[in-house]
Amino acid sequence: MPDLLDSPNSGRGDRPLTALSVGRDPKESGEDNRSLTVAVPTPLLLCQRVSKWYGPVIGVNQVTLELRSGITGLVGSNGAGKSTLMRLITGQLRPDLGSIEIRGHDAWSTAARRHVGYCPELDSFYEEMSGRQFVEAMARLCGYPRRVAIDRAAFALERVGMAGRAERRVRGYSKGMRQRIKLAQALLHDPELLVLDEPLSGIDPVGRDEFVRLFRDLASMGKCLLISSHELEELEKLTDHLAIMAHGRIAAVGTVAQIRDRLDNHPLLIRIDVKRNSPGDNDSANDERRRLAAGLLKLNDVVGVELLDARSEDAVDPVLVRARNPQRFFQELTRLVLEEWYEIARLETLDDSTSAVLGYLLRGRSA
Amino acid sequence: MVPDYNENEGEREAVSLKAANRSLVAVSPLLPVSTSGLRAWFYLVWLSWRRQARSQQMVWIAVGLLLFSVSLVAIFTARGAWSMRYWRWPYRQGPTYMQWADEVQLLASLPDASAEGQGVQAALAASVRGIILYSGFPIFSHWIVFLLFLSFLVPLFNLSFATEALGGERESNSLIWLLSRPLPRPAIYLAKFAALLPWTIGLTLGGFVLLCLVGGRSGVLALRLYWPSVLAATLAFSSLFYFMGATFRRPAVAAIVYAFFLEVIFGNMPGYLKRISIGFYARCMMFDAAGDFGVQPERPEIFLPVDGATALVVLLGLTVILLGIGTVVFSRAQYHEVV
Amino acid sequence: MGESLNRAATPELLHYRPWRGEFRTPAASVWPIARVALMSIFQKWMFWIIYILGLLIFLLFFFGQYLLSWAETQAGESDVQLGGWGRMNPRHLIALFRGFLKLDGSAESYRGFFAYQGYIVMIVLALAGSILIGNDLRFGSLPYYLSKPLSRWHYLLGKGLAVAVFINLMTTLPAVVLFAQWGVLESWEYLFERFDLLLGILGYGLVLTVTLTVLLLATATWLRRTVPLIMMWTTLFFFCRLLSAAMVDGLRFSPRWRLIDLWNSTSLIGAACLGLDLETIRPGNQPPWYEAALALGGVSLLCLTYLIHRIRGVEIVR
CA distance C122 to A9: 66
Is C246 within 8 Å of B147 when comparing Cβ atoms?
A: yes
pLDDT class of C84 with cuts at 50, 70, 90: low
For A298-343, how does the pLDDT look when each residue is reduced to its tens digit (9 = 90+)?
888 888 888 887 776 677 788 889 888 877 888 888 888 888 888 8
Considering its fold, how many domains does chain A have in total?
A: 2
Pick A282 or B268 by higher pLDDT: B268
Are residues A328 and A203 both part of a single domain?
no
Please list every residue in chain B whose beta carbon sits closer than 8 Å to the beta carbon of residue A87. Answer: 339
Mention every residue, 6+ apart, whose C-beta is less than 8 A from residue C58: C113, C117, C174, C177, C178
Q: Indicate whether A239 and A298 sit together in one domain.
A: no
Those chains having 3 or more beta-carbon pairs within 8 angstroms of chain B are A, C
Q: Do A276 and A234 reside in the same domain of the chain?
A: no
pLDDT at residue A22 tops 90: no
Contact B261 C232 (CB under 8 A): no
Helix, strand, coil percent values for chain A (each to nearest 5) = 40, 25, 30
3-state secondary structure A84-111: HHHHHHCCCCCCCEEEEEECCEECCCHH
pLDDT at A24 over 90: no
pLDDT above 90 (res C15)? no
Residue numbers in A near B47 (CB within 8 A): 137, 140-141
CA distance C124 to chain B (A): 9
Average pLDDT, chain B: 81
Q: Find, in chain B, the residue whose alpha carbon is nearest to that of C127.
A: B253
Asked if C127 lies within 8 A of B250 by C-beta distance, the reply is yes
Helix/strand/coil for C149: coil
Please indicate, yes or no, whether residues A45 and A85 belong to a single structural domain of this protein. yes
**B240 touching C (Cβ < 8 Å):** no
- The H-or-E segment that residue A119 falls in is strand A116-119
User: CB–CB of B81 and C251 under 8 A?
Assistant: yes
Percent of chain C with pLDDT over 90: 26
Of residues B86 and B280, more confidently modeled = B280
**Among residues A190, A196, A218, A187, which one has the least CA distance to residue A90?**
A196
Burial class (CB in 10 A: 0-12, 13-18, 19+), C293: middle
Residue A352 lies in a domain: yes
Domain's final residue, options A263, A279, A312 = A263
In the DSSP assignment, the letter for residue A240 is S
Across the interface, do A343 and C1 touch by the CB < 8 Å criterion?
yes
Q: For residue A97, what pLDDT is reported?
A: 94
- Helices and strands counted in chain C (H then E): 15, 2
- The span from the CA of C197 to the CA of C203, in Å, is 10
Domain endpoint, select from A247, A263, A279: A263
> Rounded to 10 degrees, what is the CA torsion of B262, B264, B265, B269?
130
A356 shares a domain with A281: yes
Q: Which residue in B80, B212, B85 sits closest to B145, CA to CA?
A: B212
Residues 254-293, chain B, touching C (beta carbon < 8 A): 254, 256-257, 260-261, 264
Residue A153 is assigned to a structural domain of this protein: no
- Contact call for residues C166 and C123 (beta carbons, < 8 A): no
DSSP B22-46: HSS--S--SPP----HHHHHHHHHH
With respect to residue A125, please indicate whether it lies within any of the assigned structural domains.
Answer: no
Q: Compute the C-alpha angle B252/B256/B259, nearest 5°.
A: 130
Pairing of strands A268-275, A344-349: antiparallel
Residues of B in contact with A214 (CB under 8 A): 25
C-alpha distance from A144 to closest chain C C-alpha (Å): 34
Range list of H helices, chain B:
9-22, 37-52, 56-78, 97-108, 115-133, 136-139, 154-171, 175-179, 185-201, 207-213, 216-247, 251-257, 263-267, 278-290, 300-303, 308-332
Contact list in B for residue C250 (CB cut-off 8 A) is: 139, 142-143, 147
B166-192 pLDDT, tens digit each: 988 888 888 999 999 999 999 999 999
Q: Which of B200, B253, B257, B258 to mutate to test the interface with C (most CBs of C within 10 A)?
A: B253
A196 shares its domain with A335 = no
Q: Does C14 touch chain A (CB under 8 A)?
A: no
A241 & A351 share domain? no
Q: Does A181 reside within a domain?
A: no
Cβ of residue A187 closer than 8 Å to a chain B Cβ: yes
- Residue of B259 and A13 predicted with greater confidence: B259
Domain's final residue, options A240, A263, A286: A263
pLDDT attached to residue A21: 38
For A178, counting Cβ atoms within 10 Å of its Cβ (0-12 exposed, 13-18 middle, 19+ buried), the class is middle
Mean pLDDT over A48-74 rounds to: 90
Q: Is A347 helix (H, G, I), strand (E, B) or coil?
A: strand
| Cα–Cα distance for residue pair A43/A18, rounded to 1 Å | 9
- How big is chain C by its Cα radius of gyration, in Å? 26
Residue pairs between chains B and C whose CB atoms are closer than 8 Å = 103
Tens digits of per-residue pLDDT, B20-35? Answer: 433 334 444 444 567 8
A286 and A259 together in one domain: no
Q: How many CB atoms lie within 10 A of CB C221?
A: 22
What separation in angstroms does the CA of A337 have from each of A286, A343, C263? 17, 8, 74
Looking at the partner chain, which of A92, A142, A220 has a beta carbon nearest the beta carbon of B40? A142
Of residues B2 and A237, the one with the higher pLDDT is: A237
The average confidence (pLDDT) of chain C is: 83
Which residues fall within 8 angstroms of residue C73, CB to CB, at 6 or more apart? none
| Cβ contact A277–C7 (<8 Å) | no
User: Where residue A1 falls among pLDDT bands split at 50, 70, 90?
Assistant: very low
Question: For residue C243, what is the nearest residue in chain B, using CA coordinates?
Answer: B148
User: Residue B290: how many CA atoms within 13 Å on its side-chain side?
Assistant: 30
Same domain, A351 and A306: yes
User: Residue B112 has what pLDDT?
Assistant: 60
B90 preceded by a cis bond (ω within 30 of 0): yes
CA–CA–CA angle A350, A353, A357 (5° rounding): 115
Instruction: Name the pLDDT band for B97 (thresholds 50, 70, 90).
Output: low
CA B160, CA B150: separation in Å to the nearest integer? 15
Q: Which residue of A has its CA nearest to B11?
A: A190
Rounded Cα distance, C180 and C195, in Å: 11
**Does residue A210 lie in a domain region?**
yes
CA C188 to CA C195: how far, in whole Å? Answer: 11
| Helix ranges (DSSP H) in chain A | 2-5, 31-39, 82-89, 110-113, 131-141, 146-159, 175-187, 205-220, 232-238, 256-265, 282-298, 326-340, 352-366
Neighbours of B120 (CB within 10 A): 13
CA–centroid distance for C111 within its chain = 14
d(CA C49, CA A219): 53
Distance CA B316, CA B305 (A): 17
Determine if the peptide bond prior to C283 is cis (ω within 30°): yes
pLDDT value of position C246: 86
C2 touches chain A (CB under 8 A): yes
User: Are the Cβ atoms of B182 and A142 closer than 8 angstroms?
Assistant: yes
Which of B37, B184, B339 lies nearest to residue A120, judging by beta carbons?
B339
Residues A219 and A288 in one domain: no
A149 occurs within a structural domain = no
Contact C227 B168 (CB under 8 A): yes
Chains touching A, CB cut-off 8 Å, 3+ pairs: B, C
Domain-embedded: residue A9: yes
Question: A144: closest CA among B187, B192, B39?
Answer: B39
For chain A, say whether C1 makes contact (Cβ under 8 Å): yes
For residues A242 and A301, membership in a common domain is answered with no
Q: Is A142 domain-assigned? A: no
Contact A87 B339 (CB under 8 A): yes
DSSP-assigned letter for residue A254: E
Nearest-CA residue of chain B relative to A115? B182
Report CB contact under 8 Å: C11, A342. no
Q: What is the CATH number of the domain that holds A200?
A: 3.40.50.300
Mean pLDDT, residues A38-54: 81
pLDDT at C313: 58
The ipTM of this complex is: 0.78
Strand order across the beta sheet in which A105-106 lies: A20-22, A57-67, A45-54, A97-102, A105-106
What percent of chain A has pLDDT above 90?
31
Residue A241 domain boundaries: 2-115+191-263
- A213 and A82 housed in the same domain: yes
The reply to whether B291 touches chain A by the CB within 8 Å rule is no
Residue of C nearest to B60 (CA): C228
Q: Does A148 touch chain B (CB under 8 A)?
A: yes
Cα dihedral sign, B1-B7-B13-B16: negative
Amino acid in position A57? V
pLDDT tens for residues A159-168? 998 888 889 9
Contact B181/A54, CB-based, under 8 Å?
no
Residues 6+ apart with CB under 8 A from C296: C207, C211, C262, C265, C266, C269
